[in-house]
């Protein structure tokens, strides 16, 4: 139960609250407050969390069901989005939209933690003079996002008309989005373990369909989790492109919906987490005895091995059908080459 008092949120810990304070607060705080566990830990350390009027500054302090904590929210800092001359890989551009091949490490939209160095900052420098306005402001229209460390194709609107038209296509799930991912193990529609998992079905052509709800994780608000009685409907279709000696695979993932971390969560749920995924990949490692140096490279991969490889949609102004492809980035291409050299790729 929560109550708002200006810039203070009162949070009552539930019956199943974790024993550790930061985890208990992360589980109990209202989702609309958008407070991650890391931010809650900072708030605790800064004395912004109190109980019975006394600040609690130890995130590991013991917590108990029924306890009420006051969380003081300082006013959000104003974020002025500035144009920054950051190199962009432009695949297509006209007066209404632009298609970008985003590199790893680039956040799409500025936020208090990342006010600069984002795709929006770069676009303001690249095409700020040609933006006709989104909602009355001269800014690029973001209609979908890909994670900071995911590479690949992204379309951005430059006009209000394009923004509304593209947003409608994403809402109708008519945009074609194919990703390439390197995963642990080899997903198979014939695997009885997979077929026994709720929400997973086999389709023609060796395609595995994963349909679940997705919602914020109960104890870690930075993560998403598979749920069944709530959350947002999410559907991913996965197909193996290459099998690396049964230990790993290059998988094509097709999105029917586009939820936060969808492919990463769904592949982990299926037992085939992405290489390099520190959030959902678990502790699984490639076997060095089987794959040699390729296993070493895969186990040391510095980001989730995920690439938005193709993007197709109808131009919202001209009505032309457009489809774009982006080759694997250098790091994933090198890992694929190493896995093939280890005797895989069938």
Residues with a catalytic annotation lie at: 147
Strand runs labelled E in 158-305: 176-184, 200-203, 207-216, 224-227, 232-244, 248-255
Cβ-contact 41, 104 below 8 angstroms? no
Cβ-contact 301, 293 below 8 angstroms? no
Cβ-contact 191, 272 below 8 angstroms? no
Cβ-contact 226, 265 below 8 angstroms? yes
Distances (CA, A) of 318 to 154, 164, 283, 314, 332: 19, 14, 48, 8, 35
Cβ-contact 99, 311 below 8 angstroms? yes
Cβ-contact 202, 237 below 8 angstroms? no
Residues in the chain: 346
Which residue, among 8, 16, 62, 56, has the nearest Cα to 35 in the 3D structure? 8
- Measured distance CA(182)–CA(186) in Å, rounded: 10
For 273, counting Cβ atoms within 10 Å of its Cβ (0-12 exposed, 13-18 middle, 19+ buried), the class is: buried
- Measured distance CA(37)–CA(72) in Å, rounded: 15
């Amino acid at each position: 139960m929560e109550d708002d008092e200006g810039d203070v949120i009162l949070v009552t810990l539930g019956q199943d609250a974790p024993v550790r304070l930061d985890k208990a607060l992360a589980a109990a705080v209202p989702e609309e407050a958008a407070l991650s566990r890391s931010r809650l830990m900072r708030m605790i350390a800064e004395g912004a969390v109190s109980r019975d009027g006394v600040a609690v500054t130890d995130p590991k302090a013991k917590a108990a069901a029924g306890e009420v904590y006051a969380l003081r929210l300082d006013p959000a800092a104003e974020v002025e989005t500035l144009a920054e001359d950051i190199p962009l890989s432009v695949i297509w551009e006209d007066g209404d939209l632009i298609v970008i091949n985003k590199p790893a490490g680039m956040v799409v939209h500025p936020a208090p933690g990342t006010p600069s160095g984002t795709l929006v900052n770069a676009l303001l420098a690249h095409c700020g003079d040609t933006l006709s306005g989104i909602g009355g402001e001269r800014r690029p229209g973001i209609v979908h996002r890909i994670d900071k460390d995911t590479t690949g194709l992204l379309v951005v609107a430059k006009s209000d008309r394009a923004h509304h038209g593209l947003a409608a296509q994403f809402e109708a799930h008519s945009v074609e989005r194919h990703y390439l991912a390197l995963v642990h193990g080899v997903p198979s529609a014939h695997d009885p373990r997979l077929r026994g998992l709720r929400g997973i079905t086999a389709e023609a052509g060796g395609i595995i369909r994963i349909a679940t709800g997705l919602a914020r994780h109960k104890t870690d608000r930075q993560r998403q989790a598979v749920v069944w009685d709530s959350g947002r409907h999410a559907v991913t279709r996965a197909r193996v492109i290459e099998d690396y000696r049964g230990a790993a695979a290059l998988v094509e993932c097709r999105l029917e919906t586009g939820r936060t971390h969808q492919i990463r969560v769904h592949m982990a749920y299926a037992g085939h987490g992405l290489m390099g995924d520190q959030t959902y990949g678990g502790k699984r490692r490639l076997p060095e005895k089987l794959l040699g140096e390729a296993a070493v490279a895969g186990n040391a991969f510095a980001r989730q091995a995920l690439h938005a490889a193709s993007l197709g949609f109808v131009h919202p102004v001209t009505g032309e059908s457009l489809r774009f492809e982006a080759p694997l980035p250098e790091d994933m291409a090198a890992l694929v080459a190493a896995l093939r050299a280890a005797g895989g790729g069938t």
